[in-house]
Amino acid sequence: MVTEYLECRPCKKKLAAWSRDILDQLDPSHREQFPAVLTYRLSCDREVVRLLRGRTLGNSATALYRHLCLRHKEHYLGQSTLYLSVLRNFVTQNTDPSSLIAALPQMVPVPSPSWLLSVYAREVLTRLPELKARVTSVYGSILKMDSTKKVTKKLAGHAAGTAAWVTDVGNEIGQVLMCVLTEGEGKGLLPMCSGLVVRYRRAGEAPPQVLYVDRDCCSAGDKGKAAAMFSEWDQLVVRLDVWHFIRRIAVGVTTDSHPLYAPFMGHLSACIFEWDAGDVERLKEACGGKPTAKELARHCRRRTRGAKETKELIEQLLNDFMEATDTMGVRLFDKERMEEIWRTQQPHIECIQDPPGVQLYRRIGR
């Protein structure tokens, strides 16, 4: 590969003609003709960089490094064989064979996996406007906002301890609209919420119908704190995510390794949801018999039973399991704790119901 070095007169910095600072001054059609990504000393073919884009559990930078080493070694051995076969024609009786082997060029080592990752990061920066446009073009009519601390605990280096929460906003088909790192929930999420509202307004998209949250779904006033953060969306209905409601009830269980834990959680889910009768009948006609649990989950919708029926069923379930024990006499519930949890969670039963006209293909879980 041949190029020229351009030197800046004031700072004496040298730049290769293929470097990004030079290529950015060209139009896209000419810029795409350059087949390599340059670093300070080495260059990497863009075909290799493309192999890093779809990195998964079995397609890491280390795996690509091993694959490149194998390919380079095979190519080196093939070229060495050709070199020696051609050189044999010039061998005489006085020629020392060891001198021929000594003249064999050495294979250039493949750069390390960390260098491959650095090249990939450099290439991603060139596509940053495109990636930003693609990410900010995601919308949805049913949103879910959830926060967790698990991701921030994995931050290392200078980023460690700089954030306490990670908050994601996704739509009904699992796409992520926005992800932010904050020091706290509540008011700390106001810039994110304002940004979502502005994004919808600028794109001319209809505001979402429903927002599922893990907290602040309701309050003593007309609107909860979550709805107040999206005050511009007057028709937005805020609901508590059922998975978080179930986890709040499960806090009253003595241990999740209890033999009765799984049956209790299954019955608790059945107290909240019911299968759509029309979908079940059509599935029975298609299967010609009783469908399995996997077939129901794949082809049928589930809807909430209603606040009154849900409350009665959960109360009956708690009464049935309140004195339940395993073979060693260990109770499933901490009775006093479960009674307090149920007292505080009863007002949220209305918040977990499906809004009128909204029915989702859903499962319990993240």
Q: What is the pLDDT of residues 95-131, one digit of tens each?
A: 666 666 667 788 889 999 999 999 988 888 888 888 8
* β pairing state of 43-45 and 142-148: unpaired
Q: Which fold has domain 139-240?
A: Nucleotidyltransferase; domain 5 (3.30.420)
For the chain, give the mean pLDDT. 85
Q: Where are the domains of the chain?
A: 35-126, 139-240, 244-352
Task: Specify the pLDDT at position 364.
Answer: 38
Q: What is the DSSP string of 38-84?
A: E-SS-EEEHHHHHHTTT--TT--HHHHHHHHHHHHHHHHHHHHHHHH
Task: Read off the pTM.
Answer: 0.69
Statement: residue 135 has pLDDT above 90: no
Q: What is the pLDDT of residues 200-252, one digit of tens each?
A: 999 999 999 999 998 888 765 556 788 888 889 988 999 999 999 999 999 99
Q: Which two tokens stand for residue 298?
A: 């794949």
As a whole number of angstroms, the distance between CA 149 and CA 159 comes to 14
Element (H, E) at 123: helix 113-126
Confidence of residue 366 (pLDDT cuts 50, 70, 90): very low
